Structure 1
Amino acid sequence: MRNDTFESLKSLAQQHHIEGLSLPSLAALSEHQAGYSIDKARQFLKFQQRINKELLQHRVITDNPYTLWFEQGNQNLSQIKAFVIQFSVFSNQFLIAQLNKMIHADTLEAMRASKEILANELGVSFKAMAQGTEDHDLGSTEGSIEGSTFHFSAGHFEWLYAIAKKLELDFADIGQPKHGTDATLFFCNELIRLYGGDNYQISQAASYAVENWAAAGFWGQLITGFRRFNERNGFKLPLGFFIWHDKLEAQHASHTQEELEELYFTQQLDEDQFIHYGCEMLDGVAAFWDGLDEQRRELATMH
């Protein structure tokens, strides 16, 4: 965006006391696009205050005991294996939720956005394959899958399998629902029901909740915990899966915010329903981590 355009939009926000709106929304306001008005912008900012207070303060975002513990790097081998198994079940079940989200999209643009995430999870990298950081040949976290190439090894599940092999877990030991605890399967089912459901507004609420959870820092906690575990135990567990997602989620929160604003201005959004189902989704996320926390306590005396 050109600097003079940015300054013009900034001035518009200050003039009408609507600071806090994303630049795409301000641009749509300045262009008098259908549905966009100053009054609606002020209503949205009040709604955002509700979201910040009633949704984004959920305990799984602000205080996750499991990831705080994991970050310390004091896991025993049984606890590390258990985590990888449960995360692999979630990773595979997410594919089902994402496929359903794509199927239930209400526009071609939304379908393509969901399809892009699904195809990337399966092994189509954004842009060209890039030489990775310390652990893995990671694909780019930016761009599009359009015109890119499929690689089996770029599938996210294979990155998790690379960790599992180092832990002497077989392929058949991970990923399948039969390996999931009740808590993990509850979370996965909630993802399919809410995130991948056929009600677009509920799906968007769940998506907003998931993206803000994912951008809240837990990936970094897991990476730190794995690195400390590696150092303490002489392992070289490859962390490409976690490093890539950490980089990706740092970009996603702003995109998710823009999507929410577009939804608010262009459709009749039920504010109470949005917060309700967003919190339901985060309750599902919390169940997953609570299950892991209970499991790691049970495994605390094992090697």
Structure 2
Amino acid sequence: MIAVADSKLERYAEEHRLSGLTAPTLEALATNRTGYSVDKAQRFLAFQRRIDTEMLRHRIITDNRYTAWFSQGEQTFEQVRAFIVQFSVFSNQFLVAQLQKMINADSLEGMRASKEILANEIGVVFNAGRKRSATRDPDHEVDPELVSTEGTVEGGIFHFRAAHFEWLLRIAGELGLGFQDLGGRRHGTPATLHFCDELIRLYGNENYAITQAASYAVENWAAAGFWQELIDGLVRYNARTGSNLPLAFFTWHNRLEAQHAQHTQEELEELYFTRDIDEDDFIRYGNEMLDGVAVFWDGLDEQRRALAKAA
């Protein structure tokens, strides 16, 4: 359940049996904003229950076999290398899907939201409104452990080294991999490329309803804990092997996704109250996106098993 900090809104939610709605939606209801009504709010809560049951219980959210194995930290050197290569392909090809989502936005606000993500991915650091120290090591501004996960790219500074791909490149370097070994489609397995293509087809779709369903699915998958499982596994791998793989790419994303769940829920509620949603289609396309995600992780699981047999 989403926590509501405002006591007045909490009471409003209790009085009207609307517990579970986010604060912006409750405020819109309490102030009789156009399009918002208690009856529609009750319908949304019924829809949310369908989403929770029919989409968010997808096996790749509740039971990711690969990340469960990975978290134990028993990977071989070759298995870690293979994982980083495939993850770099997904990370780099995601830029294509994000660009498509930006191009296909149906409003200036939506386009700007997509630009925020795209610009940050390629190296524009979020401007969190904090003053920089004049004596600060410039490299610290692009260390993902120190870069803010809050703010906006408006007024942010671009650094080549702040690109997320370059953060992965630092990890790859510790594994004997270079720029030519990462990111390109030629390095992707069929499973990884299927996932990348599904991101373009669904997440970057020109139909706003489809892209919103895919986006909701992706954000809930990303916030479901897989980042922490990857971190746990790499921490244990480092400790077991005496390696020093830099983990900041993963810890930064873990911090970021922890904040996204609330924002994603707020966006869904705003979408429901301000537009017509085909509930069946929303769940269908969300599940198609999660099926694509599952193919990616299943492919990694098959690859690590094959590498174990070949060892």
What band does the TM-score fall into relative to the shorter chain? over 0.9
- What stretches of structure 1 move > 2 A for 4+ residues in a row? 128-133, 135-138
Residues 1:111 and 2:119 aligned together: no
The CA deviation at 1:206 is 0.3
Residues 1:236 and 2:244 aligned together: yes
- What percent of counterpart residues are identical? 64
Asked if structure 2 preserves the Cα contact closer than 8 Å seen for 1:206 and 1:281, the reply is yes
Opposite residue 48 of structure 1, the aligned amino acid is Q
CA offsets 1:250-275 (integer angstroms, 9 cap, x no match)? 00011000000000000110000000
The CA deviation at 1:137 is 4.6
CA offsets 1:178-214 (integer angstroms, 9 cap, x no match)? 0000000000000000001101011000000000000
Asked if structure 2 preserves the Cα contact closer than 8 Å seen for 1:164 and 1:170, the reply is yes
Opposite residue 17 of structure 2, the aligned amino acid is H
Asked if structure 2 preserves the Cα contact closer than 8 Å seen for 1:138 and 1:154, the reply is no
The CA deviation at 1:138 is 3.5
The 5-angstrom pairing of residues 1-303 of structure 1 reads: 6-127=6-127, 136-302=144-310
Q: Distance in 2 between the 1:251 and 1:244 partners? A: 11
Q: Distance in 2 between the 1:81 and 1:30 partners? A: 53
Match of 1:139, SS?
coil
Asked if structure 1 preserves the Cα contact closer than 8 Å seen for 2:145 and 2:251, the reply is no
The CA deviation at 1:6 is 1.5
The CA deviation at 1:282 is 0.2
Alpha-carbon distance change, 39 to 132 in structure 1, aligned in 2, over 3 angstroms: farther
Q: Distance in 2 between the 1:6 and 1:120 partners? A: 32
Q: Distance in 2 between the 1:261 and 1:39 partners? A: 14
**TM-score normalised by the chain length of structure 2:** 0.93
Opposite residue 181 of structure 1, the aligned amino acid is T
The CA deviation at 1:38 is 0.3
**TM-score normalised by the chain length of structure 1:** 0.95
Match of 2:127, SS?
strand
Alpha-carbon distance change, 132 to 62 in structure 1, aligned in 2, over 3 angstroms: farther
Opposite residue 26 of structure 2, the aligned amino acid is L
5+ residue gaps, structure 1, are none
Q: Distance in 1 between the 2:41 and 2:52 partners? A: 16
The CA deviation at 1:9 is 1.2
Asked if structure 2 preserves the Cα contact closer than 8 Å seen for 1:100 and 1:197, the reply is yes
The CA deviation at 1:170 is 1.5
CA offsets 1:105-163 (integer angstroms, 9 cap, x no match)? 11111111100000000000111689979x85531000111111000111000000001
Asked if structure 2 preserves the Cα contact closer than 8 Å seen for 1:136 and 1:239, the reply is no
